[in-house]
Structure 1
Amino acid sequence: MKYMNSAQAIMFLKDNQPFSKDTEEKFEVIKKYNDVRVHFLNHPDPQCIPLFLNSFGEGSGFGVYQLIEDVLMKFSIEQVVPHLISALKSEHIGVRYWCTHIAASFPAPSLIPPLSNLLSDPDPDIRCAAVTALSQIEDDRVIGILEEFQEKEGDPDVIDLIQEALNESKIDAAIP
């Protein structure tokens, strides 16, 4: 599709909620998804926010998923965070994974509850992303939450990341 309008781009996103796992057969669809991403990068429309946040399948979307954040950065925290809160509770692992990464760029205290819940996610990559996102939020509750989950965590990589975040937050707290 050489040219698409916002209505066509919105319809494409609505039809792909979420994408299935990355496969070679999906490559052409992901190319169109990238065209939709570029469209909204150039023509921001808040209708695309929840649709992008709930579009992520398992995998990387052939490298396109990590570029969706650029579109979302066109919008305010107030526009993105309510949809992000909802997407972080998704039953789809791809949606949770990518939205947890995106949450680090929208450090709002209202994200603390859903991100804290993701510290118990079965996927250690999601738990790591939740630690990173929480560590970006300037709120006194974060240190206590991370300390509590550090005691419960079994994965050494997640434990190390929590410790790193705690050390960083204590350094930040000490700087007047």
Structure 2
Amino acid sequence: MRRSSEHTKTRILAAARERFGTAGYDRATIRAIAADAGIDPSMVMRYFGSKEELFAAAAYFDLELPDLSAVARDDVGPRLVAHFVDRWERDEALVVLLRAAATNTVAAEKMAEIFTTQLLPTVTAAGADDPLRSAGLIATQMLGLALCRYVLALPPVTAMSCPEIEHWLGPTVQRYLTG
């Protein structure tokens, strides 16, 4: 019985989500994902091109942005920084997606989508003067921090505690919100 290409892609994505979730990115293989989906590994490559593109397509990340409506407007920036540091610290898959986004357009689009769809509403609700610009600038800070801390592992940045990062970047993010 022939499967439609959409059905095959759906099976591959489901298998990839499960395999990446249980084995992690590095230990998940195209062969294992294909076996889980009940297809030949060449089909995975046909539909997704590479492991990085498959990961980006399968990845959905909830930034778990907090409701900041009860936070004083002048404290939103530091709270966002603290939240993002905590979020990056808890989810290696976000770091994997960031690494992939540096060289893969599919992963880059996924990262942009995550930040656009999730950060913009939070920034808007926080009363930013120019929500679109503010969300973009906040993303530059948080992605830059993640790149330097978790991918490049720059010693001065990796040595900083979370409260230190909040202290240094919080005012910058606050300025992006309130001008």
The verdict on a shared fold, with TM-score over 0.5 as the criterion, is no
Shorter chain as normaliser: what TM range? 0.3 to 0.5
Higher relative contact order (CA 8 A, sep 6+): 2
| Higher Cα radius of gyration | 2
Give TM-score scaled by structure 2 length: 0.32
Structure with the bigger percentage of helix: 2
